[in-house]
Amino acid sequence: MTNKDLMQQVNEKAQKWLRSNIIDNESKERIKYMIENDENELIESFYKDLAFGTGGLRGIMGTGTNRINIYTIGMATQGLSNYLKQQFAGKKEINVAIAYDSRNNSRLFAEKTASVFSANGIKVFLFDKLRPTPELSFAIRHLKCQSGIVITASHNPKEYNGYKVYWEDGGQIISPHDKNIITEVQKIKSIDEIRFDHELTHVKEIGDKIDNEYIKQIKKLSLNPDIIKKQKDLKIVFTPIHGTAVDLVPKALKAFGFEHIDTVEEQNTPDGNFPTVKSPNPEEPAAMELALKKAKAVDADIVMGTDPDGDRVGIAVKNSENDFILLNGNQAATLLIHYLITQWKEKGKLKGKEYIVKTIVTSEILAEIAEKYDVQNYDVLTGFKYIADIIKQNEKVKQFIGGGEESYGYLAGEFVRDKDAVMSCALLAETAAWAKSNGKNLYEQLIDIYVEFGFYKERLISIVKKGKAGEEEIQKMMDNFRNNPPQTINHSNVMLIHDFLKQKTFDQLSHLRYEIDLPKSNVLQFILKDGSKISIRPSGTEPKIKFYFSVNEKLERKEDFEKVNKLLDEKIDAIINDLGIGS
Four-point Cα dihedral 230, 231, 232, 234, nearest 10: 170
Phi, psi (deg, nearest 5) at residue 274: 45, 60
What is the per-residue pLDDT for 49? 84
Give, in words, the CATH class of 68-206: alpha beta
pLDDT in tens, the chain (583 residues): 678 889 999 999 999 999 999 999 999 999 999 999 999 999 999 998 877 654 568 899 999 999 999 999 999 999 999 999 999 999 999 999 999 999 999 999 999 999 999 999 999 999 999 999 999 999 999 999 999 999 999 888 899 999 999 999 999 999 899 888 888 888 988 889 999 998 999 999 999 999 999 999 999 999 999 999 999 999 999 999 999 999 999 999 999 999 999 999 999 999 999 999 999 999 999 999 999 999 999 999 999 999 999 999 999 999 999 999 999 999 999 999 999 999 999 999 999 999 999 999 999 999 999 999 999 999 999 989 999 999 999 999 999 999 999 999 999 999 999 999 999 999 999 999 999 999 999 999 999 999 999 999 999 999 998 887 888 899 999 999 999 999 999 999 999 999 999 999 999 989 999 999 999 999 999 999 999 999 999 986 678 999 999 999 999 999 999 999 999 999 999 999 999 986 5
Q: Looking at residue 166, what is its pLDDT?
A: 97
Give, for 370, the enclosing helix (H) or strand (E).
Answer: helix 365-372
Nearest to 64 by CA among 36, 35, 105, 106: 35
Listed in order, the ranges of the chain carrying CATH 3.40.120.10 are 68-206, 213-453
Count CB neighbours of 68 within 10 A: 26
Q: pLDDT value at position 451?
A: 98
CATH fold, domain 213-453, is Alpha-D-Glucose-1,6-Bisphosphate; Chain A, domain 3 (3.40.120)
Residue 469: burial class (beta carbons within 10 Å; 0-12, 13-18, 19+): exposed
Determine which one of 81, 147, 154, 363 is catalytic: 154
Note the pLDDT of residue 57.
86
| Residue 28 Cα distances to 17, 18, 160, 193, angstroms | 7, 6, 21, 18
Rg (CA), the chain: 24
- Of 2.20.28, 3.30.310, 1.10.10, 3.40.50, the CATH number of 455-579 is 3.30.310
Cα angle value 390/154/197 (rounded, 5°)? 95
Instruction: Give first-to-last CA distance, the chain, whole Å.
Output: 31
- Does the annotation count 154 as an active-site position? yes
Cβ neighbours for 380, distance < 8 A, ≥ 6 positions apart: 357, 358, 359, 360, 386, 387, 389, 390, 518
- Nearest CA to 165 out of 98, 111, 82, 103 is that of 98
The pTM of this model reads: 0.95
Range list for CATH 3.30.310 in the chain? 455-579
